[in-house]
Structures are given as C-alpha cells and as structure tokens.
Structure 1
Amino acid sequence: MGKTTYKRLKGSQSFRQRLVLATLANTPVLIEDIRSEETWPGLRPHEVSLLRLLEKVCDDCVVEINETGSKMKYKPGTVMGGRNLVHDCGVSRSIGYFLEPLIVIGLFAKKPISIMLKGITNDFKDPCVDTFRSTTLPMLKRFGVPSEGLGLKIESRGSPPHGGGQVFVTIPVIDKLTAVNWLDEGMVKRIRGVTYSTRVSSQFENTMIHAARGIFNRLLPDVHIFTDHKAGPHAGKSPGYGISLVAETTSGCFISADTAVSHAQGEAGEIDNDEKEELTPPENVGEEIASFLLEEIQKGGVVDSTHQGLLFLLCALCEPDVSKVRVGKLSPYGIETLRSIRDFLGVTFDIRPDPSTGTVILRCVGCGYKNLARKVS
C-alpha cells in the first residue's frame, strides 16, 4: 500500500461541501486550523455528527481528529447506503444541515438508503424538513432523479433547544445526473405552505396563516397554507412554532422561505433567560416570512438563495454536457460552493450577469460523474 496523499485545507468554512466533494471525488483531506483562534476551538458537535453519519453510509472511511478538534483527517470510502439506518443528529444544528450532504452522496451509493434521522426538525439556521420535502426533492427530479424511492416523512417534530423530532428519509440510487437547461423562471401561479407548532397553542398557527395570507391575497388568489399541530410524543421536547412557504411558478420552479421560533440555545448549550421571555409573536412571523418569500421571488432565478449551492453541485456532477442555470444575486454559500467545486472536481463555471433582469446566468460542463459503486443488474 502506498502512502496516502492528503489534500491540505485550512479553516472551518465550507465544511459540508468539502466533505461531500472529498467523498465523491475520493480525495483524502487534511483540514487544519479549525477555529484555532476562537475561545472554543475545533469542530462543533454537528460537524462531528456529520462525520459519524458519513461513516454509517460509507465503508472503509477513516476519520482522525486531534485532541483539540482543530485538525482532522478524512479518508473517504465506498458509499454503500443501506436500509433501516438510524442517526441521531444531536441538537447543535437541525436535521436540515445533514440532509443536503446525505442526499447528494446517497444518490451515488451502492444500495438505496432508508434512514431515520433524529433531532431538531425546524430552526431558523437551516432549511427545515418541510422545505426539503416541498422544494429540494422536486428540484432533484430536474436532473433525472426518479420520484420512486425519493421521499421524506416527518414522524415527529422537534424544536430547539432539546429537539426530539424524527424524520424518515429514502434516497434512490442513480447511474448519472442529466444536464439541465434551466433558464425560464416563469411567473408565480400558486403559493403553498405549512405551519407547525409543538407544545404551544394551535391558535399560533392560525395567526401565522392569517398574517401571511394578508400579504399574499393582494397579489394572487391561489394561496393554501396547511397546519400541522403536533401533540404528545409527536411534539418533541421543546415548545416552538414556525412556517414554511413555497411559491410554484408556471415553469415548474419552486422558490421557498421558512423560519422557526423557539427558545434558542447558546454555544455552550445554555438557554439564555433574557431571550426566553421574548419570542417573536406569530403574527409578526407570518408577515416577515411572507415578505421574505416575496423578496426571494423578486431576486429572480430558478431557485431561491438557500438552494444555490446544491444547484451548482448537481450541475458540476452532471454528464459531460453543458448545463445552463439562472439564479438571482449569488449568495455567499453559493460562491463558496463554486470555489469548492473548482478545487475538488476541476469544474469551472462561466458566470454572466443578465442586466435586463438583474439575474446571473451560469454555464458549466459537467464532470461526468458516474455511480461506479452501484450493482449492474
């Protein structure tokens, strides 16, 4: 066996993209200076949990972390997949943080994945599980991912700080992704959404719906927002409420926005007592998220700003053909993803602003990534 050559990287930024791309490109990485200047140096609990999740779905992957957690080695293995897996995501970040890397890697596994993820289902930092179901999964179908075997079922909700939610995810395996020519945003034809509440009055949901509809009904008639009030064991361990909205356009694009309100948790796991008194009223939550969705629509593009990174990653992994996509203003996450894609896959994007619409058109030739692990029947 020859000596393993590691790709040397620094810092904690783009941690998820680096791990996903390292796994797919089969490139061992050595990441140094992870928050070495901060009071609490090293990897955060959610980052360690993501590494453990990768160990569950991959065979022969090797993870080495030093004592302070500020330096780690990751040597990818074969993505095996598997049925009836269970992973506790912890309460440092929500399940949404883990879903994006899991879905991308899972598509190129040897066997389809079915996994129960436990933890926080809705928070304000990451896209909530409702947004994944309504927006992310339909987006994958554009790239040739079959609907059969692709699903997300919310068994129970979990709000910060103690979580307690459970989500069952199924991911099919594919041979390759199909290149897309996705420039037409279309016009918004309907708005759908879902509100949720755990361990608080279900009236909070009606207030959020009324506030959001007050804004949307001035603009279009087809607005339906459903309620999902959880009680008992399905309500998790903490009180909270929130809303996820998605605008569907005439060309089949889905633009989403979501938020959640709960007693937040500090870095050291302490609940801040000052914060505990002042939760945003549900009426304000409904109005704010409706306005935020309208802002996302105004920016233009075929996806919202939180989905830019995933869109670019899928384009880069496509068959060796030209993919063209239109997005609004590039988000910091999208820009970081473009850099990581260049470093790991050698795929560069041609980026051209479209002054007439204020959007940006990106072109790339996919790297032709194929699922070599999948069994050929």
Structure 2
Amino acid sequence: MSSIVDEITLESATNFRGRIALAALTGRKLHLKNVHADDNISPGLRPHEAAILKLLQLVSEDIEIKVSANNTNVIINPGLLLGCKDKLVFECPTTRGISYYLEFLCMICYFFSFPLNIKLMGVTNHTLDPSVNSFFIAISSFQKRVNLPVLSVNVEARGLLPDGGGSVTVTSPVVKKIEPFTILNTGKIYKLRGSAFSCHVTKNFVVRMISQIREIFNHVLSDVYIYEDVCGKEKAGKSTGFGVELVAETFLGTIITRILLLEQ
C-alpha cells in the first residue's frame, strides 16, 4: 500500500483557491511554486490571492504560511479550521468581488469547529465575479438540492468599482456529515428573476433597463419579473454605477446567473 505524501508541490497559480481549500481540509502541507512568475511586470501573488491566505489565517488556528521575498513561492502548513468564535470583519481587496472570497469560504465553512460569522467589506458587484446577490441565490439553491444548511448572506450596502464600500454579513452553521450527491442534468429554463440597480444614479436608468429586459425576454418566457433597487446614500457604497442582475431557474432547480455592470 502506498503511503500518503506529507507535502504536495504544485506549479503556478492555477485553481489557487481550490488548492488551498483542499490543503486546509486534508491537513496536508502545500508548496506553490512559480506563482505568476512569468509576469515580467508584476510577478508573484495578486492582492486578492494574498487576501485568501489572510482569510484562511483568520479562520484557522496553528496555521503556518511562508511567502518568499518575491511573492512567487508559498508554503502553507495547515492547522485547525477553527471558524469564528466571535464575529469577524475582513476587508477584501477591490481587485476581485466579495463573491470571490465567499466562494472560498463556502469550500471550507461546513468543516469549522465554530459557525461562520463574518462581515466582508469591498466590491459587491464586480466585472470579474458574480454579484453577491446572484451568488447567494445560486449557492442556496444548490445547498437545498444536496441537503446542506443554507448560507445566510445579508447585503448591508452595495459597493461598485473602483472604491468599493460594500458590506456583506455571512453566517453558516457547522455540519456533522455531508452526504454524497450526483447532479447530471440542468433542465430547461422556465422563469427569470432579477434586479436593476443603481448607486448614486438617477432612477431613470433603472426604469429603462427593466423595460429593455422585458422587451427581450417576454418573447421567450412567460414568467419574468425584474424589480427596482435604487440604493440610497447609506447603501450605495463609495462609487457610482448601475447594472442588472439576472437569475434564471430551470425545471430541475438549477440556477443560472448573469450580471451586467456599468460604472460611470
């Protein structure tokens, strides 16, 4: 019988979050080499990747992380996934949206010793990631299908590029057992939901967006509902912009999300 390798060495930053999550869950030491080493202008960890390491440290105990001077080599010696004894606050770099960090937390939060309870600050609607609202709808649908407790996500304020200012509180319980599951088919789309939102922008943009969306989708779907979300000063973050979040649901319960974001 072959023995389990104590340390895993991998090249590049491919599937960065997935590799780190698996190392944390299995307790195996991980060595990542040549992280963005081929970038002549800015080699090494990106701000959002460094933030993932800080986030893992925040919810872990007895973890050891070493980063080389040029930021291209990372050694992670995982500890105990402790979770949140008290409510935590984490500032997310604006190079990626808050859902980028949420996706990482979803990989590990059910295995914490204490329930997840954290406030994430940053960009809720990013061009590179799903919006926090659409991510929550998609992940909660999936969690219900596989009999997992639904993640609680409360968007207290939207935050757009470039300055962010969004605020999201996330809570989730710890589970004792996760049953295996199989999902093979997505099914056909039968309804569409969504929101047209604006931050520090007149409501006229929202009304026009809803009208155009209905004009397109009413020809192919009978169940279409888009609501207005005009954010006031307290919930509009630091930047100006507007956009649309669309969520389609199939007969088998599969959720498909899309977002269009325009910054002024």
TM-score, scaled to structure 2: 0.93
- Please tell me the root mean square deviation across aligned C-alpha atoms, in Å: 1.6
Q: Please tell me whether residue 119 in structure 1 is matched to residue 122 in structure 2.
A: yes
Instruction: List aligned pairs for 1:141-160, cutoff 5 A.
Output: 141-147=144-150, 150-160=151-161
Deviation at 1:174, TM superposition (A): 1.0
Partner of 1:34: 35
Out of 108, 113, 126, which is 1:110 matched to? Answer: 113
Q: Please tell me whether residue 254 in structure 1 is matched to residue 255 in structure 2.
A: yes
Q: Is the partner of 1:182 in helix, strand or coil?
A: coil
Does the Cα contact within 8 Å between 1:205 and 1:227 map onto a contact in 2?
yes
Q: Is the partner of 1:107 in helix, strand or coil?
A: helix
Q: Is the partner of 2:156 in helix, strand or coil?
A: strand
Instruction: List aligned pairs for 1:37-56, cutoff 5 A.
Output: 37-38=38-39, 39-56=41-58
Partner of 1:225: 226
Aligned-partner Cα distance in 2 for 1:262–1:50: 26
Partner of 2:63: 61
Instruction: List aligned pairs for 1:172-321, cutoff 5 A.
Output: 172-262=173-263
Deviation at 1:201, TM superposition (A): 1.6
For residues 131-154 of structure 1, what are the alpha-carbon distances to aligned partners after superposition, in whole Å with 9 as ceiling and x for unaligned? 11211122122222124xx21010
Residue 183 to residue 10, structure 1, CA distance change in 2 (3 Å): closer
Aligned-partner Cα distance in 2 for 1:6–1:175: 27
How many residues are aligned here? 258
Out of 65, 78, 81, which is 2:80 matched to? Answer: 78
Instruction: List aligned pairs for 1:360-375, cutoff 5 A.
Output: none
Does the Cα contact within 8 Å between 2:141 and 2:253 map onto a contact in 1?
no
Give the partner amino acid of 2:72: S
Does the Cα contact within 8 Å between 1:103 and 1:171 map onto a contact in 2?
no
Q: Is the partner of 2:163 in helix, strand or coil?
A: coil
Q: Is the partner of 1:197 in helix, strand or coil?
A: strand
Q: Which runs of 5+ in 2 are unaligned?
A: none
Aligned-partner Cα distance in 1 for 2:25–2:92: 22
Partner of 1:169: 170
Does the Cα contact within 8 Å between 1:120 and 1:160 map onto a contact in 2?
yes
Q: Which runs of 5+ in 1 are unaligned?
A: 264-377
Determine which structure has the larger helix proportion and give its number: 1
Deviation at 1:176, TM superposition (A): 2.4
Deviation at 1:184, TM superposition (A): 4.1
Q: Please tell me whether residue 18 in structure 1 is matched to residue 19 in structure 2.
A: yes
Does the Cα contact within 8 Å between 1:63 and 1:74 map onto a contact in 2?
yes
Runs (4 or more) in structure 1 with deviation over 4 Å come to none
Does the Cα contact within 8 Å between 1:130 and 1:194 map onto a contact in 2?
no
Does the Cα contact within 8 Å between 2:149 and 2:172 map onto a contact in 1?
no
Give the partner amino acid of 2:68: N
Partner of 2:90: 87
Percent of pairs with identical residues: 35
Give the partner amino acid of 1:46: H
Give the partner amino acid of 1:243: V
Partner of 2:132: 129
Residue 29 to residue 184, structure 1, CA distance change in 2 (3 Å): closer
Give the partner amino acid of 1:102: L
Aligned-partner Cα distance in 1 for 2:217–2:44: 44
TM-score, scaled to structure 1: 0.66
Q: Is the partner of 2:230 in helix, strand or coil?
A: strand
For residues 265-306 of structure 1, what are the alpha-carbon distances to aligned partners after superposition, in whole Å with 9 as ceiling and x for unaligned? xxxxxxxxxxxxxxxxxxxxxxxxxxxxxxxxxxxxxxxxxx
Partner of 1:294: none
Aligned-partner Cα distance in 2 for 1:7–1:186: 39
For residues 186-232 of structure 1, what are the alpha-carbon distances to aligned partners after superposition, in whole Å with 9 as ceiling and x for unaligned? 33221111122112222222222111111110012211111211121
Q: Is the partner of 1:47 in helix, strand or coil?
A: helix
Partner of 1:327: none
Q: Is the partner of 1:133 in helix, strand or coil?
A: helix
Deviation at 1:68, TM superposition (A): 1.2
Q: Is the partner of 2:36 in helix, strand or coil?
A: coil
